[in-house]
Structure 1
């Protein structure tokens, strides 16, 4: 899982499971790859258009929302998508747009859930998952001692979101030096905002303890686990079962 790789090369590294189909839906800047029990392209496009419309309308009325790199006050009149972004940004001390990809992924997955019990919505490397069986999610940073790592997820853990920040891959804004920081949470907004703030802290291998300590503090807002890699060093905190990819 590589965050915001503009070429989306990671999408060719896996195949849908038996009985599942994969399809892409793109609306303006949102480029989703969805895996489900059946082709839900039309339904996905409808949901995505609705969510993007809500976000664009809010930005039109609140032009400070898009460029802000710091939290903004809560807005009781904001649509749920925007409200989730605002709350997660305050909890993690980042701007609300830091949470946009993960929030959209989760809201799309929530809307499609009645149509498919097995569902993966990937938005630029940020993923919302629902599943009736165990899943392995690749962590595509540098190999560790020659091994590619993955995160093992049991059926009891779904629904769940995995969001990633990287200073070395893609064009996401990060003030750190991490190859990847992947955050696990029930909320896509929290996972995405937390990945950003933890990625900003990871300015070198020596900062790994600081990143993991901050991850522990963010457990109070819903962070379940964190994987971080900087160069040849990795750190793991929380409910994260790692496995080697064959």
Structure 2
């Protein structure tokens, strides 16, 4: 039986989906460790936590370095990638423990490994498209990222107007940073920012009220029944196990 576990640690509010308690514990410890490493680094370099521009991180820890690298590629501040980074570290810890199935939704930024199809629902606030469709993610033994940013939902700062921008990539940290970057500038009339995306980005799906924009390769879309109980607090995504 699949277990759905609510995880909270200061600003991190996440949902973990796994098959047993051992995987839940491993994923939770992975996220705790990631946050601890990052918080220690922020004491040394508080500018890392406030900059809206890329910053240089010449050394340690690996979570800060990877966030900075993703931010450099996306042209945003490194904290734009924090949720994806914490989620990825949780899934990596679960995978190291022997898990073949673990989904972590960290406020709409999702990292996963899965041995079965899963549906990732689209939650985009007041948009009429919100909750009506879901992406079918195929089984993968490599960590995969589905990260969403919004200018109208949640507490994260955005310069844009999109109800949701969802980015797909094998690098969840980069997906998180790029989702923020694209959401800041993408409009229905100006999609030029999509032509400059990093080659590691597979696809983008954006919603503006009742209009959607698709770029690159995104997973298949199917109709879905909205389940508010599956939406992580403050999040933009929700997921269900495919039957």
TM-score normalised according to structure 2 size: 0.84
- Structure 1 window deviating more from structure 2 (229-238 vs 153-162): it is 153-162
Cα offsets for 1:146-203 (capped at 9, x unmatched): 981211212258531111110111111110000000001111110010000000013x
1:97 matched residue in structure 2? 79
Q: Which has the higher helix share?
A: 1
SS at 2:154's partner residue? coil
Distance 2:131 2:80 in 1: 30
Partner of 1:64: 47
Deviates more, 1:31-40 or 1:169-178: 31-40
- Which residue pairs with 2:223 in the alignment? 244
SS of the residue 1:170 aligns to: coil
Equivalent in the alignment of 1:51? 34
3-state SS of the aligned residue for 2:147? strand
1:34 paired to 2:9: no
- Give the distance between the partners of 1:22 and 1:122, measured in 2 at CA: 11
Change (3 A) 1:44 1:157: closer
The equivalent position to 1:230 in structure 2, one of 208, 226, 231, is: 208
Q: CA deviation at 1:61?
A: 0.7
CA contact (8 A) 1:22 1:33 kept: yes
Q: Which runs of 5+ in 1 are unaligned?
A: 1-18
Q: What are the within-5 Å matches in structure 2 for residues 32-181 of structure 1?
A: 32-40=14-22, 41-75=24-58, 77-113=59-95, 114-141=97-124, 142-144=127-129, 148-156=132-140, 158-181=142-165
CA distance in 1, matches of 2:194, 2:171: 15
Within a 5 Å distance, the mapping from 1:166-245 to structure 2 comes to 166-202=150-186, 204-207=187-190, 209-210=191-192, 214-220=193-199, 222-240=200-218, 241-245=220-224
**d(CA) in 1 for partners of 2:65 and 2:121?**
30
Q: 1:93, 1:168 → 2: CA distance? A: 21
CA distance in 1, matches of 2:202, 2:166: 11
TM-score, length of structure 1 as denominator length: 0.83
Rounded Cα–Cα distance in structure 2 between residues aligned with 1:192 and 1:181: 10
Distance 1:243 1:219, change over 3 A: farther
In structure 2, do the counterparts of structure 1 residues 155 and 87 end up closer, same or farther at CA, with 3 Å as the change threshold? same
Distance 1:111 1:46 in 2: 8
Structure 1 pair 179–157 and aligned structure 2 pair: CA distance change class (3 A): farther
Q: Are 2:26 and 2:90, in contact at CA under 8 Å, matched by a contact in 1?
A: no
Q: Secondary structure at the match of 2:47?
A: coil
Structure 2 gaps of 5+ residues are 226-243
Stretch of structure 1 that moved more, 59-68 or 152-161: 152-161
